[in-house]
Amino acid sequence: MTNIKLTIEYDGTNYLGWQRQPQGLTIQEVIENALGKITGEEINLQGSGRTDSGVHALAQVANFQTDADIESSAFQKGLNSILPKDISIISAESVDPEFHSQHSAHSKIYVYKILNRPYSSALNRHRTWSIPYYLCIDSIMRAVQYLPGEHDFRAFTQNGANVKSTVRNIIDASVVYRNQENIEIEIEANGFLKRMVRLIVGTLVQVGKKRITPEDFKEILDSGEKTKFIYAAPAHGLYLKEVKY
């Protein structure tokens, strides 16, 4: 049996996220079905983690096991020939039998893209969060400096999330300001809670709008208490950028 690792790019606009659902189309389901056609087997594709409905991936990682006598590199060409155009296989390779796309991961990097100008984008309306009001980038950058390190992110997770611990370690966090209007907030951590990045970004935007200060953001982070200023950014601006092993 061979263990195959896939690196996948996708536009999540038309899908209910990564994980197979009882109702609605997902990325996992589409790729598993395509792999079934190629191998003649029922494939169980393990992703590095879930992405929510509408979230995109620049390099999602998944793995599956197969008895099919097919060269690992051939899976890239075969899958890309039958997958819809909003899903693309960047690479396919044979890996150690013990490799698991989720459990073997050291960290993940997410990037959130904001378009900050008075008018929206017709072409990127499903790929950026369009904010027509002025954002103070200096204030956002000051607030982001409080993120690295180990914190209890219970204020920045979905209510009722079923997890053993809400403590996560943010390895790095940064803000890139491109072309006076394109803002990218990038966060690398050893793990993420449900909607964690979207809630962090939405609250950072409150800082940028001067509704709260960077110090207020730090107080929310330190206290773990939800406030009226915690806001979830839309899913369509979020991308899984990289999984590190």
User: pLDDT per residue over 62-92, tens digit each?
Assistant: 999 999 999 999 999 999 999 999 999 999 9
How does DSSP classify residue 13? G
Does residue 130 belong to any structural domain of this protein?
yes
CB-hemisphere CA count at 13 Å for 19?
8
245, 221, 244: which is closest to 109 by C-alpha? 244
If 0-12 CB within 10 Å is exposed, 13-18 middle and 19+ buried, where does residue 80 land?
middle
Q: What is the pLDDT of residue 205?
A: 98
Residues 84, 146 within the same domain? no
**What are the structure tokens assigned to 40, written together?**
């003649």
The H-assigned helical ranges of the chain are: 27-39, 74-82, 137-144, 196-208, 214-223
Q: Tell me if 241 sits within 8 A of 105, measured CB to CB.
A: no
**What are the structure tokens assigned to 212, written together?**
């709260």
Residues 115, 54 within the same domain? no
Residues 135, 78 within the same domain? no
Q: How far apart are CA 147 and CA 64, in angstroms?
A: 34
**Catalytic residue at 52?**
yes
CATH code for the domain of 142: 3.30.70.660
Sequential pLDDT tens for the chain (245 residues): 999 999 999 999 999 999 999 889 999 999 999 999 999 999 999 999 999 999 999 999 999 999 999 999 999 999 999 999 999 999 999 999 999 999 999 999 999 999 999 999 999 999 999 999 999 999 999 999 999 999 999 999 987 667 889 999 999 999 998 888 999 999 999 999 999 999 999 999 999 999 999 999 999 999 988 888 899 999 999 999 999 99
Sequence-separated (6 or more) residues with CB below 8 Å from residue 78: 38, 70
Does residue 100 belong to any structural domain of this protein?
no
Q: What is the pLDDT of residue 138?
A: 96
Q: Which one of the listed residues 11, 52, 67, 216 is annotated catalytic?
A: 52
Q: What b/e sequence results for 61-73 when a residue is b if at least 16 CB atoms lie within 10 Å of its CB, and e otherwise? A: bbbbebeeeeebe
CB-hemisphere CA count at 13 Å for 205?
24
User: pLDDT per residue over 189-201, tens digit each?
Assistant: 999 999 999 999 9
Sequence-separated (6 or more) residues with CB below 8 Å from residue 141: 175
Q: What is the pLDDT of residue 243?
A: 98
Instruction: Count the domains in the chain.
Output: 2
pTM of the predicted model, to two decimals?
0.95
Q: How far apart are CA 196 and CA 183, in angstroms?
A: 19
Q: Which domain holds residue 55?
A: 2-95
Domain termination residue (choose one: 46, 72, 95): 95
Q: How far apart are CA 181 and CA 231, in angstroms?
A: 21
Residues 151, 230 within the same domain? yes
Q: What is the pLDDT of residue 36?
A: 97
Cα dihedral value 2, 4, 67, 81, nearest 10: -150
Angstrom CA distances, 27 to 10, 15, 32, 147, 189, stand at 8, 7, 9, 30, 23
